[in-house]
Structure 1
């Protein structure tokens, strides 16, 4: 059932349904999933709230007292000079204000179009981020629950004896993750950094102590007989590993 829900959330039907851009069949499917599955309903509500927030952030206000200012000016002009002159001034002023208001609203419309385009791009980026996160969650679920997954206990060497981690490797799905559950404390000017061997080169996977959640799974590039390393590096990390400061090897 979870696979079915995740498969649905990986599509963009929910976002397009919210924007009124789905076919009749897609709309019925979206409404059915929203009604039946709390996870889908929660995602739908979050999307609604995001759109409402964008709409409130970029809503345009009508200039205050514009009508009152025009009428007040006309009345003032009507009290000065002869009737024809007064009407001529009023007509000219109205024409001037009309031209100004036209330009104002045209300019505001251009600004609104730009903001709408920006919001649309932000929604696309949000949708792309959601897809990436959902894909990563799906892969984590597979790795943690698939019977073909191998669990490898990782221990630190004498430099970091208290380091503990578990690597999860699934050769069928070609997925691998690592969960670092314990890291010995380092001086403030140092950090732990993860590396993976990719095409014969060591590539940085990030600074491990930035992942504060003990349940965090860090994706590892999958390869047959692959090797990953954890090293001690200066605070902020490095572009190349300090091979003399390796504290753990992960072979999978």
Structure 2
């Protein structure tokens, strides 16, 4: 911006304007710069004062009526400039308002796009979750109603004598589920956790909630010669099973 003002001041447009030698377009440009930039306005005032001093030093007696004509001319031009400045200020204000409105709507649009992305991602997650749930229900139906399914009763050891569960294994569909029907009550700082050992790897299947209705099935990863475990762990579950706290084994 400063380079732009410097180029303007280095030109002779201000001098030509003061002498009345600018075209209409040049005059509009000069007046616009005077209105917008303090540096230009200050230089213009200085040139105007210098011109007045020079004119006084070289003044000659003017013809009759010249003063009135000049005064009328100055008043006319002054009115025109006042109108220009009013229009320039109004235009500047309108430009600022337009820029502000544009930024506001752009910002609103960005917010809407972000909200749309969040909503879209939530919908995708819900769709994936619903798809998974439907797939799980379908598999449960297959396991419970397919004649190839094998049923194994599971009982707890000495640490959980009242534990009762039923494992459902279908080698044809390669699906495995367990239905934990009863769990002995535990202190508040403990919980039951389900594990499966598949191909030498121990998998965490999650916490088994107490107080269920005995109708919910928990999916087990299917593999030949796999083994399931139920353990007692600290509240919230554990990353690895506590071997000393195994209360039931499920071979399938």
TM-score in terms of structure 1 length: 0.62
Question: Residue 247 of structure 2 aligns to a residue in which SS?
Answer: strand
**Partner Cα separation in structure 1 for residue 240 and residue 175 of structure 2:** 25
The aligned runs of 1:1-252 (5 Å cut-off) are 85-209=85-209, 212=212, 214-252=214-252
Q: Could you tell me which runs of 5 or more consecutive residues in structure 1 were left unpaired when the two chains were aligned.
A: 1-81
- Partner Cα distance (1:237, 1:121) in 2: 29
Describe the SS at the equivalent of 1:99. helix
Q: Which stretch of the first structure deviates more once superposed, 88-97 or 168-177?
A: 88-97
Change (3 A) 1:186 1:211: closer
Residues 211 and 127 of structure 1, relative CA distance in 2, 3 Å threshold? farther
- TM-aligned CA deviation for residue 240 of structure 1: 2.1
Give the match's secondary structure for 2:177.
Answer: strand
1:212: how far off? 4.1
Max Rg structure:
2
CA distance, structure 1, for counterparts of residue 149 and residue 103 of structure 2:
65
**Number of equivalenced pairs:** 171
Per-residue CA distance 1:153-180 (angstroms, 9 max, x = gap): 1111121111111111111101000011
Question: Alpha carbons of 1:210 and 1:203: their partners in 2 closer, same or farther (altered >3 Å)?
Answer: farther
Distance 1:206 1:96, change over 3 A: same
Could you list the per-position Cα deviations for residues 147-202 of structure 1 after superposition, in whole angstroms to 9, with x for gaps in the alignment?
Answer: 11112111111211111111111111010000111100011222111111111132
TM-score normalised over the length of structure 2: 0.62
**1: distance between equivalents of 2:232 and 2:123?**
39
> What root-mean-square deviation, in Å, do the aligned CA atoms of Structure 1 and Structure 2 show?
2.0
Structure 1 residue 111, shift from structure 2 partner: 2.2
The answer to whether the Cα contact below 8 Å between 2:227 and 2:251 also exists between their aligned partners in 1 is yes
Residue 238 to residue 86, structure 1, CA distance change in 2 (3 Å): same
Give the superposition deviation at 1:120. Answer: 2.0
Measured at CA, do residues 213 and 106 of structure 1 come closer, stay the same or move farther in structure 2, by a change above 3 Å? farther
Following the alignment from structure 1 to structure 2, what is the Cα–Cα distance between the partners of residues 130 and 107? Answer: 34
Please state whether the residue corresponding to 1:159 is helix, strand or coil. helix
The separation in 1 between residues aligned to 2:153 and 2:229, in whole angstroms, is: 14
8 A Cα contact 2:176 2:219, kept in partner: yes
The unaligned stretches of length 5 or more in structure 2 are: 1-81
Q: 1:225 to 1:211 in 2, by over 3 A?
A: farther
Cα deviation code 1:115-170 (max 9, x no counterpart)? 22222222222222221111111111111111111121111112111111111111
